[in-house]
Structure 1
């Protein structure tokens, strides 16, 4: 007699956007991998692509959703996220390349939550869709220099935390070391001031800042904190935007380099601190636009010191995108908008005559929407490079090249 609890059922054929496995008949199965077989009792028989998660906190920790996939399946998931978004908008790409995935323990920027529960201080990522803090005793995504601070941070934060009141510890690996920003605490008084300074000195921090609700206040910074792009050091405000890994940043830059190769004059829109304006702008004239004034000033100063031809402009591209007439002055355009995409700017680009557009995105959905506008305006999507900087997560990035 067949045991109906273990009889063969449908097989997982792909991973959906939010990380569930999907069967051929459309059933979604959490924590499953391609090749897993769903039993009649709802359990899983693991297939060849189901991996042993390397972290003991998985799946409770919200930092990763897909550690149960082997490397082949995770890379395919990253690529399929991008390809599927394009299909959904009816956009045809010349080629969607195999995904480039950052290695473990390479993430150089992270925002962790901390809270005190009785005598215990918990510090880590939140569980997915929850305020529960997973107290990290290991992490397979963070750069070791960031993870090494977690244990001493618990001791530092203990007297600053009220019961069940969470604060944030934001860390960035800068040129000089770890840049730490603590948000949501009041650190008044000589004793706490000395504790902060002593902590920063003992652990060789590049900078330690505190934000009590009125903006970051630097408490320790022995020399100006910088992030380098293309060998040029740029002054970095506390927890300024930065690509999550060096490998990912390099992959994105190299993917769009061909679009800018023949451009003597090009524009970098949503430029941030100049990640791409400086990395890809040597020997070129670059117009760089960004809504955050502090980042614009940092880029302008760095470009001037390096004698780069970068015109940095404080401009909100959502409210005031470059017009068709302005765009047509450039040989190429690069844009790297936030997750919402660049609907307003894409509409202007679609009506322009710019020969080449490089589009870097952290959201395949909003990218595909904007790509449809560009395609309808006469642009051809030549290539798309999917990139998985947030290894084992459902967060996917990409770099694309459009040509008229």
Structure 2
């Protein structure tokens, strides 16, 4: 049954919150102060119409917005959007009793997302390639996306053709697309077992599409050119479908800030190092210990380091830092430590760092809540939080990257 409510504020995932009988109702695609008509489904609701729009409401720039679940905040004016993102960082820190010097947010603009993870499914005799709908398990086939790089957007029709060859009869296909210096690196998981074994045909498709590399179900079908990313002069070729920062602009901003934070350190530990986003840059000035549990990522880092020139030593430790964090006696020989964990944060490692004598810690996180928890541990262990930098790597989403500097006297 339709009902009219007023949006009180935005929740941390970007949904508007209406208070009905002191209970929150979450309404996507709304803004604080708006009067809207909704259809309630438990504590969530579907927006039917905006009766009284906010002055901060603008026209979304994507034709799929509102149905596609990839973006949450295209309808919000830019200054208000930036302020809301900064407030998410402040609120997460305040929840742990932390006050901080928060630097102005760094933005990654439209058309800069170099990594896309798409899904494909067979539906009514055709294949849809895109993202899931908001509040539903259905898929939205996309023909445009304002956050992705122009090269990925231009290839959407071709990628859909590839998905049509490989999508299973039941279930979803997952397609990771990375825009590299050599072209698109396409990695597909969940492909149909029969069609995915036709490597000659798939290789011809990739060559005609001018992909740099095509991988299917964990196997490289063809590599026409090494799909490298430039990490400050080091050419790093990631494993197929491997994790890299989503935006080159955001990566550059975070890397510059990490280098600023470690200052003149001569020995640096890079924890949760991945394929060397920070380690390969730090090695221009310092010796680095890179610690990471993902063996293919570490192999990619090692190859990039060996082929680069002018870098200092990068030693490696393949290690699960959740189960086996570096202990104080292992950390005390380093001038600085950098850590960039997954969304779960670095709880175990932060506890060990708090007991160490390391002078400088630079924390990088894609989750302000777990970062605040880890910063609280370090502050209670004697570190001083110098500053925090929000980086809007995931444009129009509720997610935010954060870089923080801590020092010990």
Q: TM-score, normalised by structure 2?
A: 0.89
1:101 is displaced (CA, Å) by: 1.9
Aligned to 1:31: 29
Aligned to 1:399: 403
Matched, 1:318 2:353: no
Which of 150, 158, 180 does residue 156 from structure 2 map onto? 150
Q: TM-score, normalised by structure 1?
A: 0.90
- Residues 279-333 of structure 1 deviation map (CA, whole Å, 9 limit, x = unaligned): 2331211111111112212212322332432112211111111111111111110
Secondary structure of 1:56's counterpart equals coil
Matched, 1:358 2:362: yes
Matched, 1:51 2:58: yes
Q: CA distance change for structure 1 residues 129 and 29 in 2, over 3 Å: closer, same or farther? A: closer
Q: CA distance change for structure 1 residues 188 and 232 in 2, over 3 Å: closer, same or farther? A: same
Aligned to 2:14: 19
- Give the number of the structure with larger relative contact order, counting CA–CA contacts within 8 Å between residues 6 or more apart: 1
Aligned to 1:382: 386
Matches within 5 A, 1:119-138: 119-138=125-144
Aligned to 1:250: 252
Matched, 1:372 2:376: yes
| Larger displacement relative to structure 2 (15-24 or 199-208) | 15-24
Q: CA distance change for structure 1 residues 206 and 314 in 2, over 3 Å: closer, same or farther? A: same
- Give the total of aligned pairs: 391
Aligned to 1:226: 228
- Mapped partners of 1:221, 1:205: distance in 2: 8
- Residues 13-45 of structure 1 deviation map (CA, whole Å, 9 limit, x = unaligned): x532011235799965532234x4326999441
Q: Which sections of structure 2, spanning at least 5 residues, go unmatched?
A: 39-48
CA contact (8 A) 1:169 1:180 kept: yes
In angstroms, what is the RMSD of aligned CA positions? 2.4
Matches within 5 A, 1:186-225: 186=192, 188=194, 192-211=198-217, 216-225=218-227
Matches within 5 A, 1:157-176: 157-176=163-182
Which of 259, 262, 269 does residue 260 from structure 1 map onto? 262
Q: Which sections of structure 1, spanning at least 5 residues, go unmatched?
A: none
- Mapped partners of 1:199, 1:90: distance in 2: 56
- Residues 67-125 of structure 1 deviation map (CA, whole Å, 9 limit, x = unaligned): 111111221122111111000111121x1122212111111111101111122211001
CA contact (8 A) 1:99 1:387 kept: yes
